Amino acid sequence: MKPRLKIDILTIFPEVVQGPLSESIIGRAVSGGVVDLKAHDLRDWCRDRHRKVDDEPYGGGPGMVMKPEPFFAAVRELRRDATRVVLMTPQGQRLQQSMVRDYAGNCSHLIILCGHYEGIDHRVVEALVDDEISIGDYVLTNGAIAAAVFVDAVVRLIPGVLGDERSPEEESFAEGEGLLEAPCYTRPVQFEGMEVPEILLSGHHERIDEWQRKRSVERTLQNRPDLLPGDDGE
Ligand code: ADE
């Protein structure tokens, strides 16, 4: 079977990406051949004896900047016709489920570049990168962690990866209204003085749907009012 999606990750910490992506659902998608996932050591494309990937910033300032040469050599070697090159960076566009759906549905090959240190020589961004992506408004030590998050979100939406095909339609940020999911419960009915809401035990599907919808709106209002219609996110 031909993999639905090929993903090449370029990082100086391939084990950081490999760890979380070799377990559970994503691990099975990889071992089952649905996804062809490789985390490459960027240093393999260094030409110098010391395999140096960073250097001091022009113009001064703290920290080190990642050199362009290894990124250019790696992308030139790995790129094919329909490749999308993504850079994980806190300066990128903030990742949304709608973007995740687009990658899962419309991409056949992703090359993901992971930064480290102060940043990446901007010529990499100008010449090689299609999309700059941030996984949130905070700074990580290492873009490989962000790449693992991004890949997990994309791969789980590839048909056949999740056991229950309906789940992506019913979860938070699903297409349509985009509200947060309602709270959920399992056995036991009573636990440390707290009870499962009676309605969920009733077997009355219409009333359960209604209850879930109400809780969903409440939860969104409390935790993410920016998701509700009419809120401009300010
Ligand atoms: N690298 C460091 N911080 C990051 C973030 N928030 N998103 C993506 N890549 C990053």
Residues near 206 by Cβ (< 8 Å), separated by ≥ 6? none
Check if the beta carbon of residue 182 is closer than 8 Å to that of residue 215: yes
Q: How remote is the CA of residue 137 from the centroid of ligand 1, in Å?
A: 8
Q: Which atom of ligand 1 is nearest to 143's Cα?
A: 1
Q: How many other CB atoms are there within 10 angstroms of residue 166's CB atom?
A: 8
How many percent of the chain have pLDDT more than 70? 97
Residue 201 CA to ligand 1 center (angstroms) comes to 43
- Reference 57, options 10, 7, 107, 121; nearest CA is 121
Which residues contact ligand 1 via a Cβ below 6 A?
A: 88-90, 115, 134-136, 138-140, 143, 146
pLDDT at 131: 98
Q: How far is the CA of 141 from the centre of ligand 1 (A)?
A: 8
Q: Is 138 exposed, middle or buried (0-12, 13-18, 19+ CB in 10 A)?
A: exposed
pLDDT confidence of 232, banded at 50, 70, 90? Answer: low
How do residues 18-69 score in pLDDT, each as one tens digit? 999 999 999 999 999 999 999 999 999 999 999 999 999 999 999 999 999 9
Of the candidates 133, 155, 118, the one whose C-alpha atom is nearest the C-alpha of residue 4 is 155
Residue 147 Cα to ligand 1 middle (Å): 9
Q: Residue 53's pLDDT is what?
A: 97
| pLDDT beyond 90 at 163 | no
pLDDT-derived band of residue 159, with 50, 70 and 90 as boundaries? very high
First to last CA, the chain: 47
Protein residue with its CA nearest to atom 4 in ligand 1: 90
What is the model's pLDDT at position 116? 87
Once rounded to an integer, what is the mean pLDDT over residues 5-16?
Answer: 97
pLDDT digits (tens, 9 = 90+) for 72-91: 999 999 999 999 999 999 99
- For the stretch 98-109, pLDDT in tens is 999 999 999 999
pLDDT of 234 > 60? The answer is: no
**Full set of structural domains in the chain with CATH:** 5-155 (3.40.1280.10), 171-227 (1.10.1270.20)
pTM of the model: 0.94
Name residues whose C-beta falls within 8 Å of residue 232's C-beta, 6 or more positions apart in sequence: none
Q: Do the Cβ atoms of 147 and 11 come closer than 8 Å? A: yes
Among 210, 191, 179, 178, smallest CA distance to 200 is for 210
Ligand 1 atom at minimal distance to the Cα of residue 141? 2
How confident is the model at residue 225, as a pLDDT?
97
Quote the CA–CA distance of 201 and 199 in Å, as a whole number.
5
User: How many Cα atoms are found within 13 Å in the side-chain-facing hemisphere of 32?
Assistant: 14
Query: In 15-172, where do the E strands start and end?
Result: 35-41, 54-55, 65-66, 83-94, 109-114, 119-120, 131-134
pLDDT interval class at 168 (50, 70, 90): confident
- Span 175-194, average pLDDT: 94
The pLDDT of residue 78: 98
CA distances from 160 to 74, 94, 147, 166, 234 (A): 31, 27, 22, 11, 38
Q: What is the mean pLDDT of the chain?
A: 94
Q: Are 164 and 105 a contacting pair, CB within 8 Å?
A: no
d(C-alpha 152, C-alpha 146), whole Å? 10
